[in-house]
Amino acid sequence: MKLRRKALRSLPIALVLLALLLVPSAAFAASADHLVTQVSLAPLTPNILRLNQSVTIDFTYTTNEAEGVYIWARPMSGAVLTPNYAASPSILHPVGTGTASQFFTITSGNPTVTRIRFQMWNATQTVLLAETFVPVSYQFRSDSRIVSQIGLTATPNVLKHGQKVSLSFKYKATNPGGVRIFARPLTGSALTPHYAAHPSPLYPVGSGTGHAWFTVTSGTATVTKVRFQIWNANQTRKLFQAVVPVSYQYKAPANIVNSIKLVPANPNLLKFGERVNLTYRYTTNRAAGVRIWARPFSGGALTLNYAANPSPVYPVGSGVADGFFTITDVPATVDQIRIQMYDDSGSILLFERKIPVSYQFK
């Protein structure tokens, strides 16, 4: 397996210039001199939140602006700032590298925040030094009955048949007789074939916490959404519904890489050379063992200028494996990670899946 690609250098110069002209100008708004990286979000995305509940954003910044910089993180819905938002101001951050924390919330309406925009301005707020966007999904709801602050098995992911997606949540309900709450997997707009899921206890009136699960028992379906519903006690009236986007790919367990964890969390902004570390479980029936590789993809092809780990031979059975990748130069957005399992010789492909991500390297 190649550890680096320098394909850009092999393109005719005319094609390279054309590609640069087609890139939106915002892609060039940040440089190595002015960066926001290592973003951490709480609560995690995707999620459903009540009005006035805050999303906290921690990040690292780098700047060579001698007089310091102001940095703002703002919620967007599509191409515009989300209506009725409130957000933290920015202090004047000193030159060099440091950390910062901000927040935003939505005070009215029922919008979905689809991006967080980071802007870095000079000390007089007259020059925009850097601008970048992180894709998210935060649904703010004004409902009097609601499921919110959801916790999910890490997504995106690959799972074995029968492996459960665990969910936790907070709820608010006003029905005196209590409510029942269901979380169900969807593929597109329909319930995922061959799913199994939890029944619901009777949750008492007021506010509280709950837990749920689902799995897929056969087939190769991808769960693309989780649907949350609140019903009255005898399940004759639906009181609330919301759908959150996810990616859970299910596969039979003979040869599989599953239970993937990504550090730093997806989505994120990274400097050249900073690693995305992966840990995962594997199962194989190959007596001589297998090799496992995780590689970054952008626009359907291996990302230019990547570096990644080689693979040892992992023994037959089940175990834990790890890997990493990074981008060494030339700005790029990794939108998929391809995970492959080969036999010990590296010649027979036993398993392959691509999981959707957003890691922007600058």
Confidence tier at 175 by pLDDT (50, 70, 90): confident
For the ranges 243-247, 249-253, 289-293, the lowest mean pLDDT is seen at: 249-253
Residue 2 scores a pLDDT above 70:
no
Please choose, from the candidates 88, 68, 85, the residue with its C-alpha nearest in 3D space to the C-alpha of residue 76.
Answer: 85
Which tokens belong to 51? 């009005």
Q: What are the strands of the beta sheet with 55-63, ordered from one edge?
A: 34-42, 55-63, 96-106, 85-87
Question: Do 116 and 198 reside in the same domain of the chain?
Answer: no
pLDDT band at residue 7 using 50, 70 and 90 as cut-offs: very low
**What CA–CA distance (Å, rounded) separates 86 from 106?**
6
Domain count, the chain: 3
pLDDT per position as a tens digit, 289-322 = 999 999 999 999 999 999 999 999 999 999 999 9
Percent of the chain with pLDDT over 90: 90
What are the structure tokens assigned to 222, written together?
């991808």
Q: Is residue 112 part of a domain?
A: yes
Across the chain, what does the average pLDDT equal?
92
HEC per residue, 60-117: EEEECCCCCEEEEEEEEECCEECCCEEECCCCCECCEEEEEEEEEEECCCCCEEEEEE
Output the pLDDT for position 31: 65
Which amino acid is located at 20 in the chain?
Answer: L
Cα 66 from Cα 322, distance rounded (Å): 41
Q: Which of 94, 110, 141 is the last residue of a domain?
A: 141
Q: Is residue 303 part of a domain?
A: yes
Q: Is there a domain that residue 337 lies in? A: yes
Tell which residue, 333, 21, 358, 357, has the closest CA to residue 157.
357
> Edge-to-edge strands of the sheet including 301-302?
268-270, 349-361, 332-343, 290-298, 301-302
* Cα–Cα distance measured from residue 346 to residue 362, given in angstroms and rounded to the nearest whole number: 32
pLDDT beyond 90 at 172: yes
Domain boundary among 125, 141, 157: 141
- pTM exceeding 0.85: yes
CATH number at residue 39: 2.60.40.770
Domain that holds residue 223: 146-251
> What is the per-residue pLDDT for 253?
84
Last residue of a domain, one of 111, 141, 171: 141
**35 and 103 share one domain:** yes
In a domain, 13, yes or no: no
Rounded Cα gap, residues 147 and 349, in angstroms:
42
DSSP state of 33: T
Same-domain check for residues 36 and 131: yes
